[in-house]
Amino acid sequence: MTGFGARLDAALDERGSLCVGIDPHPGLLAAWGLSDDAVGLGRFADTCVEAFGGLAAVVKPQSAFFETYGSAGIAVLERTVVAAQAAGALVLLDVKRGDIGSTMTAYARAYLDPASPLAADAITVSPFLGVGSLDPAFAAATEHERGLFVLAATSNPEGPQVQQAVVAGRSVAQAVVDDVGARNAGATPLGSFGVVAGATIADPPDFTALGGAVLAPGVGAQGGTADDVRRIFGASLRAVVPSVSREVLRAGPDVAALRAAVERLVADFAFLRD
């Protein structure tokens, strides 16, 4: 393997700049005519992988929607990760874990160690116990050539209360971006450590020294547009990975319709790699 950042850069060149979520919440299962149980969950996930596992650069299962079905749901998640990787997508497992010491080490082992049945190419993590609390995950990602996306400037209305607070002359969000960027120093073409920054945020941090990718949720159904992406990310556009879920998933369960929705959004954001 090569480092996650290099693999991501190659995937974005080959497949376009898009991350597509697999978010099997009960409303979508019902809309697709599926049962609200592990059987319906499995059919939903299988359809998603069939539709865009071979098309999207990054596929992002939302772990919580699988966990709600207990061990049967986790089993579906395990096979979904493997199937999406087999189809050629990089799998970003959306778990938003954040803890300290041995607990963070255990989370890193669960999601980043290739010996684990849940090992993904990258995971989302929360730095709000301090970016340094994530050191076991940074270490595991480096050892196993995996990636991390660290929450920095999220688009939920509660986020700015913490993320825009100013400490020692810079916002908390900027401090997160800077700390992650320091861990990418010298990496080319992209470092393996990115951040999460919403495509609808009002006061973005400066991403120019990040050296890694920016996952940008909020595009499409949540109101984010290509113009918003241009405004927020400016000179860092080449490193941006717009993330969509509902905008694509509401086209299901028809595989061709799901695929067409992904193809349209890939074309909409083709300018990111120009």
pLDDT tens for the chain, 274 residues: list them: 689 999 999 999 999 999 999 999 999 999 999 999 999 999 999 999 999 999 999 999 999 999 999 999 999 999 999 999 999 999 999 999 999 999 999 999 999 999 999 999 999 999 999 999 999 999 999 999 999 999 999 999 999 999 999 999 999 999 999 999 999 999 999 999 999 999 999 999 999 999 999 999 988 777 889 999 999 999 999 999 999 999 999 999 999 999 999 999 999 999 999 8
Q: Residue 261 and residue 99: Cα distance in Å, rounded? A: 37
Three-class SS state of 248: helix
* Structural domain that includes position 194: 4-273
Distances (CA, A) of 159 to 54, 96, 151, 164, 190: 34, 14, 10, 8, 27
Cβ atoms 154, 185 nearer than 8 A = no
Among residues 79, 96, 109, 250, the one annotated as catalytic is 96
Count of domains observed in the chain: 1
Which CATH number characterizes residue 173's domain? Answer: 3.20.20.70
Strand partners, 244: 20
- Give CA–CA dist 81/181, Å, rounded: 28
Strand pairing report for 170-171 and 166-167:
antiparallel
Instruction: Compute the distance between CA of residue 272 and CA of residue 236 in angstroms, rounded to an integer.
Output: 9
CA distance 13 to 157: 33
Catalytic residue list contains 96: yes
Which residue reads 């120019």 in tokens? 208
Identify the CA nearest to 202 among candidates 218, 213, 215: 218
Token output for 243: 């993330």
pLDDT at position 1: 63
Model confidence, pTM:
0.97
Check whether the bond before 127 is cis (ω within 30° of 0): no
Name 119's Cβ contacts closer than 8 Å, sequence gap at least 6.
81, 111, 112, 113, 144, 146
Owner of token pair 């090992």: 119
State how far the Cα of 62 lies from the Cα of 245, in Å rounded to an integer: 10
Q: Using CA atoms, how far apart are residues 173 and 151, in angstroms rounded to an integer?
A: 8
Nearest CA to 112 out of 11, 215, 193 is that of 193
In the chain, the amino acid numbered 220 is: G
> Are the CB atoms for 150 and 105 separated by under 8 Å?
no
